[in-house]
Amino acid sequence: METTEYYEDQVREKHPDIMDKWVERVIANPYHTETQSDGRIRYYGYIEEAGKWVRVIVENGKLHNRFFDRQALRRWGTP
């Protein structure tokens, strides 16, 4: 999947512990999705291997951000 400049310049460095295959898995089979007011789409997925939720944000069909999301854990718990 294509990425934004922000993703390449900032996100990969900030969150190297999140594997690309996890991001692909979340986008392909999300637990939950939301559309932000700015049109970006949030994809949430639980990563068994890490024991954490990941939020992936896509902007105009390009990966824009990814991070472990503690709020999702409080929201949905552990599946």
Separation CA 73–CA 43 (nearest Å): 14
Q: Is 33 exposed, middle or buried (0-12, 13-18, 19+ CB in 10 A)?
A: middle
21-64 per-position pLDDT tens digit = 999 999 999 999 999 999 999 999 999 999 999 999 999 999 99
What's the pTM? 0.93
- Per-residue pLDDT, 16: 94
Reading across the β-sheet that carries 41-47, which strands appear in turn? 32-35, 41-47, 52-59, 62-68
pLDDT at position 79 is 83
pLDDT confidence of 74, banded at 50, 70, 90?
confident
